[in-house]
Amino acid sequence: MSDIVAQVGPSIDALMRELYIITHNLANVSTAGYKRRCNAFSKSLEAQGAGTETYSPGSLDLNSVFDFSQGSIIKTGRSLDFALYGKGFFVIETPGGPRYTRNGMFHLNQNGQIVNSEGNTIAGEGGPITIPTNVELSQLYVSSDGSIGAGGTAIGKFRFVDFKDDENKLVPTGASCFRMPDEDVRPVAAENIVVKQGYQEASNVKMVDELVDMIMVSRLYEANMKFIAARKEISKSILGVAMG
């Protein structure tokens, strides 16, 4: 009996992890630039027939990955809101090293530098981007390639990077940001990326899809618990017969 519980136990734990992923996605449905995390576990479990004799927990895919697909572009009209269209990331300079994000909701610090919500500077191709004190935000213009200017004067240009096929090796650090993994992964200059000033890229979480997945995970959890209970009863019956 303990062997049965040990076999099914990993699936229960993995379903709980997947439920956490789903609830985290739902909590960030309104977070600009958020990329949903997805797990193939519950779909693999359902395909194998959880709670049946054909179930084989050892062959399931427990890996979770980020879905970096494009989110909807939403107009805000705010001068320091920027949405990215295409593959790539803004670069944020932090004390712990560079971070990468699609969340382009920025503001100015006391030194006139463009920073994120945590006060970290946004990297330009020539370093931090500083807006002169005599420039009003309403005068600020950012072209589709990330070049920043005001009144015909060039101020700087955002630095954009891409990780190509290594994108899913990025490590989440919170606030819709990622860092490079410890392994040898390096960014390259992003190609064909378009910047839209006065817009935000919405989260790519689809609430209906997440709720459907939550129902499926809950159903599979219940099926596994019933499976464990049924096997326990069978084991008790067999033991009772054997003991006379």
Global pTM reads 0.79
- Rounded distance, CA 179 to CA 48, Å? 35
- Rounded distance, CA 9 to CA 144, Å? 52
Per-residue pLDDT tens digits for 49-108: 544 444 444 444 456 789 999 999 999 999 999 999 999 999 999 999 999 999 999 999
Tokens at 243, concatenated? 């003991």
- Rounded distance, CA 125 to CA 28, Å? 30
Give the pLDDT score at 4: 40
Q: 131: left (phi > 0), else alpha (psi -120 to 50), else beta?
A: beta
Cβ neighbours for 104, distance < 8 A, ≥ 6 positions apart: 32, 33, 81, 82, 83, 84, 90, 195, 200, 201
Per-residue pLDDT tens digits for 4-48: 444 444 577 878 888 889 999 999 999 999 999 987 655 555 555
